Structure 1
Amino acid sequence: MAIKKHLPNALTCLNLLCGCVALTFILGMTPAQIEGGGPSYIFSADTWRPLVLAAYLIGIAAIADFLDGLVARALHVSSPIGKDLDSLADMVSFGVVPGAILFKLLQQVLPMYGLPLGLAYLAFTISIFSALRLAKFNNDTRQSDSFIGLPTPACTLVVASLPLILTYDSFGVSALILNPWVLLGLTLLLSGLLVAEIPLFALKFKNLTWQDNSLRFVFLLLSVGLLVGLQSAAVPLIVLLYVLLSVVRPAAR
Structure 2
Amino acid sequence: MTPIKPQPRRFTMIRGFHLADFITLGNAACGVLSVFLAMMFMASGSLTHFLLSAAMTPLAFVFDVFDGKVARWRHQHSPLGRELDSLADVISFGVGPAALGFAAGLQGGWDVVVLCYFVCCGVSRLARFNVTAEQLTTDSGKVAYFEGTPIPTSVILTAVLSWAAWQGALGAQLWGGVWQLGPWQLHPMSLLFALSGTAMISKTLRIPKF
TM-score norm. by structure 2 comes to 0.74
The structure whose residues are more often helix, as a share, is: 1
Structure 2 match to 1:149: 148
Alpha-carbon spacing, 1:62–1:129, altered in 2? closer, same or farther (3 Å):
same
Which string of whole-angstrom CA distances, capped at 9 and with x for unpartnered residues, describes residues 133-175 of structure 1? 1001101122612211010001x20121123212444xxxx86
Residue in 1 that maps onto 2:51: 52
Contact kept, 8 Å, 1:22 with 1:53, in 2: the verdict is yes
User: Is residue 200 from structure 1 mapped to residue 207 from structure 2 by the alignment?
Assistant: yes
| Partner residue, 2:157 | 159
Structure 1: 5+ residue runs without aligned partners?
33-45, 111-116, 205-253
Report SS of the residue matched to 1:147. strand
When the two chains are superposed, the root-mean-square deviation of aligned CA atoms in Å is: 2.5
1:183-221 deviation per Cα after TM superposition (whole angstroms, max 9, x unaligned): 12212111110101110012x3xxxxxxxxxxxxxxxxx
Runs of at least 4 residues off by over 4 Å: 177-180
User: Could you say which structure has the larger radius of gyration?
Assistant: 2
Cα drift, residue 50 of structure 1: 2.3
**Counterpart amino acid of residue 20 in structure 1:** V
Residue 11 of structure 1 contacts residue 64 of structure 1 at CA under 8 Å; is this kept in 2?
yes
SS at match of 1:176: coil
Aligned partner (choices 41, 44, 47) of residue 29 of structure 1: 41
Give CA-to-partner distance per residue, 1:69-99, whole Å, 9 cap, x none.
1111121111111001101111111111121
Contact 1:130 1:194 in 2 (8 A): yes
1:51-78 deviations in whole A, cap 9, x for unaligned? 2101111111100001111111121111
Partner of 1:132: 124
**How do 1:171-190 residues align onto structure 2 when only pairs under 5 Å count?**
176=175, 181-190=187-196
CA distance in 1, matches of 2:71, 2:176: 38
Q: Structure 1 residues 181 and 96 mapped into 2: Cα distance closer, same or farther (>3 Å)?
A: same
Sequence identity percentage? 25
**TM-score w.r.t. length of structure 1:** 0.62
Aligned 8 A contact 1:16 1:89 in 2: yes
Answer 1 or 2: higher relative contact order, Cα 8 Å, separation at least 6.
2
Q: How many pairs are equivalent?
A: 175
